[in-house]
């Protein structure tokens, strides 16, 4: 009789320990995944900052050869400043896309100045810029991956229970707003 009771108590205690243990595990994994999302978002910022830092150098180099392309250059500078000063994510995304567009025009400009194209410094900067653009894309891809994992964890059982108790909310994917960015690219010469 007593042995039966003791066994029962032991089983119950082990059961409770297991439940609490897995509860801790689930909560911690939710926090870990959420922190990864935050981290990967900031990693995008690291790449964006690299781009911002590169641009003044690029603009100066172009000015050296194509000073009368003032309009294009000024657009680039303005877009850059808007990106840096953007207050929220929406504004920043808009400024970012505008900056990408102006940089494309800048590159188109350089096509018309063979001296500029031949400049080693300019080639290096363009190379770095392309590298950064790629990295931005990769960083956004990784951000979306982390968002997916986090959202999945808090939407599936048993994570969803914890999410409700501790008020974890789903994160947004990185999205492009403008319809025209989704459409086919027009190339004009």
Partner 1 sequence: MYEDIAKNRAKTVLLILGFIFFISLIGYFIGMYFDYRYGYGTAFSIVLLVLALVIALFVSAGSYYFSDRIVLSLTGARPLSREKDTRVYYMVEGLAIAAGVPMPAIYEIPDTGLNAFATGRNPQNGVIVFTRGLLEGLDDEELKGVISHELAHIKNYDILLGTVIVVLVGMISILANIMARFMLFGGRGRRSSKSGGGAITIILLVIGIIFILLSPLVATIIRMAVSRSREYLADSSGSLITRYPAGLANALKKIKDNSQVRKANSATAHLFINNPLGRDSKVIFKKLFDSHPPIDERIERLEKMSLGIGTS
Between the two ends of the chain, the Cα-to-Cα distance in Å is 93
The Cα–Cα gap between 3 and 92 comes to 68
Q: What is the DSSP letter of 125?
A: H
Binding region for partner 1 (CB under 8 A) out of 58-66, 82-90, 123-131, 156-164: 123-131
| Strand boundaries in 41-128, DSSP class E | none
Binding region for partner 1 (CB under 8 A) out of 55-63, 67-75, 126-134, 155-163: 126-134
Among 34, 41, 31, smallest CA distance to 170 is for 34
In the complex, minimum distance from the CB of residue 41 to partner 1, in angstroms, rounded to a whole number: 13
Binding region for partner 1 (CB under 8 A) out of 25-33, 69-77, 133-141, 165-173: 133-141
Distance of CA 172 to the CA centre of its chain: 11
The Cα–Cα gap between 155 and 169 comes to 10
Selected from 38, 74, 127, 175, the binder of partner 1 by CB under 8 A is 127
The Cα–Cα gap between 176 and 6 comes to 63
The Cα–Cα gap between 118 and 2 comes to 92
Selected from 34, 47, 96, 151, the binder of partner 1 by CB under 8 A is 47
In the complex, minimum distance from the CB of residue 128 to partner 1, in angstroms, rounded to a whole number: 9
Question: Binding to partner 1 by residue 173, rule CB under 8 A?
Answer: no
The Cα–Cα gap between 82 and 94 comes to 9
Selected from 37, 40, 110, 119, the binder of partner 1 by CB under 8 A is 40
- Please say which residue, 113 or 174, places its beta carbon nearer to partner 1: 174
In the complex, minimum distance from the CB of residue 144 to partner 1, in angstroms, rounded to a whole number: 10
Selected from 58, 79, 139, 154, the binder of partner 1 by CB under 8 A is 139
Question: Binding to partner 1 by residue 131, rule CB under 8 A?
Answer: yes
The Cα–Cα gap between 11 and 144 comes to 43
Provide the binding-site residues for partner 1, judged by CB under 8 A. 36, 40, 43, 47, 127, 130-131, 134-135, 137-139, 141-142, 145-146
């Amino acid at each position: 009789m007593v042995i039966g009771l003791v066994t029962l108590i032991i089983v119950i205690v082990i059961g409770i320990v297991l439940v609490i243990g897995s509860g801790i595990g689930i909560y911690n994994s939710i926090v870990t995944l959420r922190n990864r999302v935050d981290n990967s978002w900031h990693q995008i910022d690291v790449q964006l900052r690299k781009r911002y830092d590169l641009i003044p150098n690029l603009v100066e180099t172009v000015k050296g050869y194509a000073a009368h392309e003032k309009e294009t250059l000024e657009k680039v500078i303005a877009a850059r400043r808007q990106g840096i000063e953007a207050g929220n994510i929406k504004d920043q995304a808009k400024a970012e896309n505008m900056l990408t567009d102006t940089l494309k025009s800048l590159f188109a400009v350089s096509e018309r100045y063979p001296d500029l194209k031949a400049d080693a410094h300019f080639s290096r900067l363009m190379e770095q810029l392309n590298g950064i653009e790629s990295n931005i894309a990769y960083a956004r891809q990784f951000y979306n991956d982390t968002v997916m994992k986090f959202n999945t964890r808090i939407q599936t059982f048993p994570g969803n229970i914890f999410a409700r108790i501790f008020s974890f909310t789903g994160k947004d994917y990185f999205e492009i707003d403008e319809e025209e960015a989704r459409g086919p690219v027009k190339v004009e010469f």
